[in-house]
Amino acid sequence: MSMQSRRGFLRTVAGGGVVGLAGCLDDQTVSVLSAGSLAVVLEDHLGQAFADEHGIAFRGEYYGANAVMRMVEDGQKHPDVVISADNVLLRDRLYESHTDWDVEFASNSVGLAYNPDSEFGRRLENDEPWYELAETVDDGELAISDPDLDPLGYRAMLAFELAEAEYGLEGFVEQLSEAVYREPEEPQLLAGLEAGNRAAAVSYRNMAVDHGLPFVEFPDSYNFANPDYEDHYASVSYTTDEGYTADGNAIIYNATVIDRADNPDAGRSFVRFLAEAEQLLAENGLTVEGFPNNHGAVPDEIQQ
């Protein structure tokens, strides 16, 4: 997908639009409500591959994972498959009421995607510490996704908090909290960098890969990618505006089929396909070593 067409696509999905893939063998459809960080890999790669293999059309919608859970809980959306960028979030919000199982299928890391033509980008490439640069940028030049809607957003805030403690940066979190631009539509987080309107954004690695942007990964102590740091990550937490408290944890994507799915068979087929798509996921910047993993009462056809 070209950069221009991708930006057009992201404007569509961020506004709640849905995209159906053509060329399927019958009128079956699987509807997927997913964390926005997977929008490109699902639309450009996995959705079409699933449709080609199973003859079932793919229809996806993409929002911050907090917003995804809220839409399911409130009955605003009735997908077959729900995909979260935080495995604990899905279990906290949907278990007992909407599902009793999920499959973990990939991980990711947090860092900075940046515009190499910006002063911030040039200085970053000269090995100046990102946290020193972040304290000097103008308001709005550094973007994060909305932490009240999206795990990437609250992971950005948690990374700031861990970095403040690690480097002795008094007032760092408060300063950045006031200075960053909070993007409410996660699929559009990097659009400002592509347009030259922003210098950098706290991003997942796969999103930078999707958009062809340079990326500097945060250290293991606050990139939420290393399971050996689970206790360290868990030393910080963020409470959303609706009162959900998310403890820091390693990034794990998981998927489930909700109990009231219109097409549960297609949903289970898609989750199994997703769990077996290691190569496509890895090619698009995700970590697949150690996956997939089952949790709860996973249906037999997926466990096999």
Give yes or no: residues 168 and 293 share one domain: no
Q: Are 267 and 255 in contact (CB under 8 A)?
A: no
3-state helix, strand, coil in the chain (%, to 5): 40, 20, 35
- Whether residues 35 and 135 share a domain: the answer is no
Tokens of 8: 């057009």
Token pair, residue 143, equals: 């973007």
Cα 242 to Cα 249: distance, rounded to the nearest angstrom:
20
In DSSP terms, 257 is beta-bridged to 81
Using one digit for the tens of pLDDT, what is the confidence trace for 49-59?
999 999 999 99
What span, in angstroms and rounded, lies between the C-alpha atoms of 157 and 238? Answer: 8
pLDDT digit string, tens, across residues 4-13: 333 333 333 3
pLDDT tens string 226-248: 999 999 999 999 999 999 999 99
Residue 192 banded pLDDT, cuts 50, 70, 90: very high
Domain tally, the chain:
2
Same domain, yes or no: 132 and 222: yes
Looking at residue 12, what is its pLDDT? 38
114 shares a domain with 33: no
Same domain, 144 and 176: yes
End position of a domain, from candidates 247, 270, 295: 247
Please state whether 54 falls in left (phi above 0), alpha (psi between -120 and 50) or beta: alpha
- Picking from 247, 270, 290, the residue at the C-terminal end of a domain is 247
The tokens for 105 are: 């299928």
Poorest-pLDDT segment among 112-116, 266-270, 279-283, 299-303: 299-303
Predicted local confidence at residue 27, as pLDDT: 65
Out of 212, 227, 247, a domain closes at: 247
Encoded tokens for 298: 């996973």
| Mean pLDDT along residues 23-38 | 81
Q: What is the DSSP letter of 227?
A: G
The pLDDT assigned to 303 comes to 86
CB 284 within 8 A of CB 45: yes
Q: Is 70 exceeded by the pLDDT of residue 21?
A: no
**Where does the pLDDT of residue 184 fall: very low under 50, low under 70, confident under 90, or very high at 90 and above?**
very high
Give the tens place of pLDDT for each residue, 83-121. 999 999 999 999 999 999 999 999 999 999 999 999 999
Q: What's the Cα-to-Cα distance from 280 to each of 38, 40, 247, rounded to whole Å? A: 12, 12, 30
Q: Does 232 lie in the same domain as 152?
A: yes
pLDDT higher than threshold 50 for residue 204: yes
Same domain for 135 and 222, yes or no, is yes
Quote the percentage of the chain above a pLDDT of 70: 91
Q: What is the CATH number of the domain that holds 58?
A: 3.40.190.10
Angle at the Cα of 296 (from 290 to 297), degrees rounded to 5? Answer: 120
- 90 with 10, same domain? yes
Report d(CA 221, CA 163) in Å as an integer: 8
Helix 87-94, helix 65-73: angle, nearest 10? 10
Per the structure, the complete domain to which residue 229 belongs is given by 110-247
What's the pLDDT at 4? 33
